[in-house]
Structure formats: C-alpha cells, structure tokens
A = this chain, B = another copy of it.
Amino acid sequence: MPTTEQLLDNGQGVIDPDVFFKMNSPPANLKDFETKLEQFVDYHQEKKTRLVFITSGGTIVPLENQTVRFIDNFSNGHRGACSAEYFLEAGYAVVFMHRQFSLQPYHRHYTHNPSIGFLDYLVQKDDNIQVDQQYNDKMKTVLSNYQNAIKNNRLLLLDFVTLSDYLFKLKSGTRILARLQENAMYYLAAAVSDFFIPSEKMHEHKIQSGGGALTLTLDQVPKFLTPLVSVWASKGLIVSFKLETDVNLLVPKARQALTRYGHQVVVANMLSTRKQTVTVITKSSQQVLSLTPEDIAHHVEIESRIIPQLVHIHDGWISSGATKACQQ
C-alpha cells in the first residue's frame, strides 16, 4: 500500500478523496447500511416522494489504532434532529445519518437533558408503568408523529462514529440516492472533522503519558464536497453548513464554499447564536432568518423557518431540472 506522502495531490499536504478510500478500510456494517438504504430509496422512488438525506452530529478522529483517545467535534446533533421533524412535516421522506447516540428526531425531546433521565418520566401504576401525567399531553403528539413516520416508512435511521465511517457512508449513500436525481436533497449538517491522523501514522497502543509533552500532527481531511457535487450526487440539491466563531469570517467563507464546490446552498451560522439566527446563502441570494424574542418565548425553533425556505429552493431546483430535461 502506498504511504500518504506518496499520494499527496498538492503541496499543502491534502490527499485526494479517492486516495482516502484506498488508504482506509470500509466500516464493517457498510453492506447492511447499503441494503437498508436501497430498500428505502426504491420504496420512495416508486411513490415519487421527495427525499432528504440528513447528516447530523460530529465525526470522531481516533488518535490510536486501538482507540482510547480521539478528537471530536462540538455537535450534539440538534440541528439535524430538529430539521428532520420539519422535513417530515413538509412531506419529505428522511434518511437520518447521525453520529451514534447524538440527538434523534422525536426522541430528542426526552434525551440529553442534564436534569431528567429516562426513568424520571415514568411512574408505576397498578401493574403497569406509565408516563407521568405532567408529560402526557406533549408526549402524545410527539409519540404519534414518530410512530406515523415509522409506520409509513418515512424515516430511516442510520449511524456512524468515526470520520472514516462517515465518509464511506456518505459516498455510498449519496450514490444510492443519485437515482432520485433532482428529487433528492442533501442536508449536510454533520460536523465533520477537518483534520485526521492516517492509520499508518497512528500509535498502535494507548499513548503513554510518561514522556512529558505530546505532539500530534494531523493531516487535512480531503474536501469531499468536490466529488459529492460533481459526481456522487450531481443532480440533487446540496445544502452545506458553515459554522464559525469569528463573525467576520462567516459570510466570506460561506461564499467561498459555494464558489469552490459549485453546489447550491450554504446555511451559515455562528456557534453562539446558531439556534436564533442563520443566513441562507445561494449564488444569487442571501437571506437572514432570525427568531424574535417573542418566537423564543414561544419555543419556536429556527429550523421551522429554515426548512420551508429550503423546500422553496428545492421546488425551483426540481422545476429547473425538468426544464433542462425538456430542452435536451
């Protein structure tokens, strides 16, 4: 197997996406992932349902082959899990490819709460266990929406853990969805690592702490949006995200991404205000969506504004695809 150095595609130390797949082994459950996804896509292709492929949560980058330590990204998957519900509400079928144990649509209302655990929702009543009355009303709605989505085969949950898992599944998943052409949207909300340690450079065992300071050198992760936009999912509507902590970089970096990759939409957000305000950027437009203090008081979620906007852009994308097809 060639080493990373032999396969660098430029002077900056960034390998080509194809090289990444040659240098890493696919996840053990990739076949199972593909089978489930193919069945789901076939079902919805026949029904002509629009489908959105949501990626959600952060990827990890192991520091050792027998992993004890890893680099993670800040993301509990809130954006993705929340968005999935609004896409389902808008009539889409949803593939929810998420970091294992990050927030999931519907379940999210009852998990990841630091002060209420699973059993705190429950009480024993005669010989049964019931949900405490105080949670009953809201939970009836959430449970019924969730059960409808599952019963109608509208929600497929798939997971990943490492960067490598994610990239193999992203490639495979977007290629399977490609048969839906313009009817597919790709909503890439996952927080994907920008840096990784190639397996060949990794420590085999747990790094020992006796030797003072530790220096780690991480390579840049290849830019997977390039093949995704141009090859894997070229006819779909592709929405990427840009998260920054420096407000001055936000819009310039979002515009730079649109130019570099040639896809359709960037949703740009600041780490500190991401639940209240986002900017939806296309080649020809830039729209700020914000919650008012009144919205926030009424627990309105910003995703209830983002999704309709994207559905609108998707309408246009599908029409223009149909136009192009007629002209051919």
Q: How many residues of A contact B (CB 8 A)?
A: 70
Instruction: Indicate if A136 sits at the interface (CB-CB under 8 A).
Output: yes
B212 and A14 contact, CB distance less than 8 A: yes
Q: A9 to chain B: which residues have CB within 8 Å?
A: none
B68 and A245 contact, CB distance less than 8 A: yes
Which of A33-41, A108-116, A302-310, A314-322 lies on the face that meets chain B? A108-116
A71 and B74 contact, CB distance less than 8 A: no
Chain B, Cβ-Cβ closest to A144: B124
A111 and B118 contact, CB distance less than 8 A: yes
Docked complex: A242-266 residues within 8 A CB-CB of B: 243-246, 249
B72 and A67 contact, CB distance less than 8 A: no
Q: A106 to chain B: which residues have CB within 8 Å?
A: 117, 119
Instruction: Indicate if A273 sits at the interface (CB-CB under 8 A).
Output: no
User: Out of B13, B73, B124, which one reaches A143, CB within 8 Å?
Assistant: B124
B216 and A212 contact, CB distance less than 8 A: no
Give the docked Cα–Cα distance between A249 and B66 (Å): 15
Give the docked Cα–Cα distance between A64 and B214 (Å): 17
B74 and A69 contact, CB distance less than 8 A: yes
B216 and A216 contact, CB distance less than 8 A: yes
User: Out of B112, B191, B214, B246, which one reaches A218, CB within 8 Å?
Assistant: B214
Instruction: Indicate if A104 sits at the interface (CB-CB under 8 A).
Output: yes
Give the docked Cα–Cα distance between A161 and B194 (Å): 23
Docked complex: A96-110 residues within 8 A CB-CB of B: 100-101, 104, 106-107, 110
Given known A70-B74, A130-B131, A213-B219, contact A119–B124 (CB-CB < 8 A)? no
B67 and A71 contact, CB distance less than 8 A: no
Give the docked Cα–Cα distance between A221 and B130 (Å): 47
User: Out of B114, B140, B195, which one reaches A129, CB within 8 Å?
Assistant: B140
Give the docked Cα–Cα distance between A207 and B194 (Å): 9
Give the docked Cα–Cα distance between A128 and B119 (Å): 16
Instruction: Indicate if A3 sits at the interface (CB-CB under 8 A).
Output: no
Q: A114 to chain B: which residues have CB within 8 Å?
A: 100-101, 159
Q: A146 to chain B: which residues have CB within 8 Å?
A: 119
Instruction: Indicate if A88 sits at the interface (CB-CB under 8 A).
Output: no
The smallest C-beta distance from A246 to any residue of chain B, in angstroms, reads 5
Give the docked Cα–Cα distance between A246 and B221 (Å): 29
Give the docked Cα–Cα distance between A244 and B128 (Å): 44
Docked complex: A134-172 residues within 8 A CB-CB of B: 136, 139-140, 142-144, 146-147, 159
Give the docked Cα–Cα distance between A101 and B116 (Å): 11
Chain B, Cβ-Cβ closest to A12: B212
Instruction: Indicate if A217 sits at the interface (CB-CB under 8 A).
Output: yes
> What is the interface of chain A, defined by CB distance below 8 A to chain B?
12-14, 60, 63-64, 66-74, 100-101, 104, 106-107, 110-112, 114, 117-119, 122, 124, 127-131, 136, 139-140, 142-144, 146-147, 159, 191, 193-195, 205-209, 211-221, 243-246, 249, 271-272
A-B contact pairs, 14 of them (CB 8 A): A13-B212, A60-B72, A69-B74, A70-B74, A107-B117, A118-B118, A119-B146, A119-B147, A122-B131, A122-B139, A127-B136, A129-B130, A206-B245, A209-B221
